[in-house]
Every structure is written in C-alpha cells, then in structure tokens.
Amino acid sequence: MKLLKEKVMTEGIVLGDQVLKVDSFLNHQMDPVLMREVGSEFKRRFAGEGVTKVLTIESSGIAPAIMTALELGVPMIFARKHKSLTLKEDILVEKVYSFTKRETNEITVSKKFLHPEDRVLIIDDFLANGEAAFGLARIVEQVGASVAGIGIVIEKSFQPGARLLEEAGYRLDSLVRIASLEDGTVTFVEEVH
C-alpha cells in the first residue's frame, strides 16, 4: 500500500532493530485520510470472506478496525485491556503479551457481541510475535464463531508472528511488511503482485 509505505518512510522512527515508532499517524495521533484508505484496502482484500464483525484490541487497533468495519458495513468490537465496571458478567477473557509494552494483559469481550454464526475479521496495527492476533482468535473461537481472516497494518516480517499465524491455518493479509529495521533503516519485504 503506497500511501502507508510513504508514511512509514517519512514519519516512522526506528528505535533499535526491533521497534518502529509510528505515533504521528497510527497509534497516538492518527491520520484520518490514511485510516480511510486502510479501511478501504482491507475491504478490498477481505470482500469475499463473508465478514459479519470486525474485532481488534484497544487502543491502537481501533482506528483501522472502525474504518474497515465502516467500509464492510458491519459492527466493530474492541477487546478491552482494562477492567470495566460495566463489563463483569458473560465475558470472554484471554491473556495477551504485548511485545512493545513488555506486559501481559487480560483482554475481555462481552459474549453478547459474538455469536457462533459470526465470521470475524481481526484487525490490528502491528504484528510482531502474533500474541494479540492469537488472543483475539481464541476469543472468537470460544463462542464457536470463525475467524474470516487477520488484517495487519504493519507486519514486522523478521519476527515470527506471521509464520506462526499462517502455520496455525489463519488467512493473514498485511498492508505493509517490514523485512528489517537494522541500522536505523526500514527495509520492506518486496511484494510480488
């Protein structure tokens, strides 16, 4: 996705060889034009999957997920990382380790928003080790629903997440795939389309 690659190149900040900071357009301040394009691209890529719901984790996944849901014309659900006084009963819970925050969170979704007949598209901002995507997939599968696919805005292909998700049988589609962050430089995986 050309616009996203340009944003990564011009505004992304490489912090070591494992972390890319994109807080100027994706996970703190958000570029609404870019988010609209992200939603449109995910719609194009997953249009034939019969998606009935879009699922993400708060907070950085919300913008690309809501724009994708808007484009697909389906509801968007976000898994909460923090306990809510109003979300105590009939909840689905999974533990998810965050690579960038180096902490484990219990994520929760109300059972009333997911049903066995749902085909759920999981959307997230980054893919490193696959923990968030696997946690969301387990929540979907707890109710007997199916994962229609996993859409990632930025995949760090040099980490094992993509391989692990594909080996587990999930359809994975990433808008931008990064091969390396070595020497402070973003190197993209060459796409063949």
Give me the tens of pLDDT residue by residue for the chain, a chain 193 residues long.
Answer: 899 999 999 999 999 899 999 999 998 999 999 999 999 999 999 999 999 999 999 988 999 999 999 999 999 999 998 766 566 678 999 999 876 678 888 999 999 999 999 999 999 999 999 999 999 999 999 999 999 999 999 999 999 999 999 999 999 999 999 999 999 999 999 854 3
Q: Are strands 103-110 and 19-21 parallel, antiparallel or unpaired?
A: unpaired
Binding-site residues for 5-phospho-alpha-D-ribose 1-diphosphate sit at 128-132
Percent helix, strand, coil in the chain, to 5, is 35, 35, 35
Cβ distance 126 to 154 under 8 Å?
yes
Known binding site for xanthine: residues? 20, 27, 156
Task: List beta partners, residue 173.
Answer: 151
Rounded Cα–Cα distance for residues 153 and 156 (Å) = 10
At the second CATH level, the architecture of 2-188 is: 3-Layer(aba) Sandwich (3.40)
CA distances from 165 to 87, 96, 193 (A): 29, 15, 21
Question: Is the peptide bond between 59 and the residue preceding it cis, with omega within 30 degrees of 0?
Answer: yes
* Binding-site positions: 20, 27, 128-132, 156
| H-helix segments, 17-174 | 32-46, 62-72, 131-142, 161-167
Q: Taking the model in full, what pTM does it have?
A: 0.93
Angle (nearest 5°) at CA 160 between 98 and 46: 85
